[in-house]
Structure 1
Amino acid sequence: MAQVPAYTKAEEQLERIFEAFKEREIQRVFYVACGGSSALMYPSKYFLDRESKNITAEIYNSNEFIHRNPMSLGEKSLVILCSHKGKTPETTAAAKFAKAKGALVVSLMYVETAPLAEESDFIVNYSWISAGNMEPNPEIMNYAILYKLAMGLLYVKEGNRKYEKLVSSLQHLDTVFEKLMKTYAEKAKAYAKEVKDEKIIYTMASGSNYGMAYSFAICILMEMQWIHSHAIHAGEFFHGPFEILDENVPFILLMGLDETRPLEERALAFLEKHGKKNLVLDAKTFDLTGIDEEVRGYIAPLAINFVLRMYALALSKERNHPLETRRYMFKIPY
Structure 2
Amino acid sequence: MKIEHVNQIAAAVKAVSERNVKNFYFVACGGSMAALSTGDFFLDCEIDIPSRVYTSNEFVHSNPKGLGIESVVILRSHSGTTPETVEAAKFAREKGAVTIAISMDVESPLCKEAEYTVHYNYKDGSDAIDGEIGVYYSLIFNILNTVSPNEKYDRVLSQLNQLESVFERNKKETLERAFQFGSENKREKIIYTMGSGAYYHQAYSFTSCLLMEMLWIHSNAIHTGEYFHGPFEITDYDVPFLIIKGEGPTRPLDERAITFAQKFSDKVEVVDVAEFDYEGIDEDLKEYFGPAIAGVVLRQYADGLAEHTGHPLSVRRYMWKMEY
Deviation per CA, 1:201-254, whole angstroms, max 9, x where unpaired? 001000011111000001000000000001001100000000001110110001
Check conservation: 2:100, 2:115, Cα contact below 8 A: yes
Structure 1 SS opposite 2:222: strand
Q: CA RMSD in A?
A: 1.3
Aligned pairs, number: 324
The residue aligned with 1:261 is 251
Instruction: Give the TM-score normalised by the residue count of structure 1.
Output: 0.94
The residue aligned with 1:85 is 79
**Which consecutive unaligned segments of at least 5 residues does structure 1 have?**
1-5
Check conservation: 2:212, 2:218, Cα contact below 8 A: yes
CA distance in 2, matches of 1:43, 1:217: 16
Deviation per CA, 1:92-123, whole angstroms, max 9, x where unpaired? 00001001111000000001201111110101
In the alignment, does 2:42 pair up with 1:43? no
CA distance in 2, matches of 1:256, 1:201: 19
Structure 1 SS opposite 2:317: coil
In the alignment, does 2:5 pair up with 1:10? yes
CA distance in 1, matches of 2:63, 2:112: 21
Write the letter of the residue equivalent to 2:230.
G
State how 1:79-158 maps to structure 2 within 5 Å: 79-129=73-123, 133-136=124-127, 138-158=128-148
Write the letter of the residue equivalent to 1:284.
A
Write the letter of the residue equivalent to 1:31.
F
The residue aligned with 2:177 is 187
The residue aligned with 2:62 is 68
CA distance in 1, matches of 2:305, 2:22: 43
In the alignment, does 2:290 pair up with 1:300? yes
Instruction: Give the TM-score normalised by the residue count of structure 2.
Output: 0.97
Check conservation: 2:141, 2:157, Cα contact below 8 A: no
2:24 to 17, 29, 32: 29
Structure 2 SS opposite 1:331: coil
State how 1:217-296 maps to structure 2 within 5 Å: 217-296=207-286
State how 1:190-229 maps to structure 2 within 5 Å: 190-229=180-219
Deviation per CA, 1:241-295, whole angstroms, max 9, x where unpaired? 0000111011000112121111111111111211110111011111101112222
**Which consecutive unaligned segments of at least 5 residues does structure 2 have?**
none
% identical equivalent positions: 44
Structure 2 SS opposite 1:78: strand
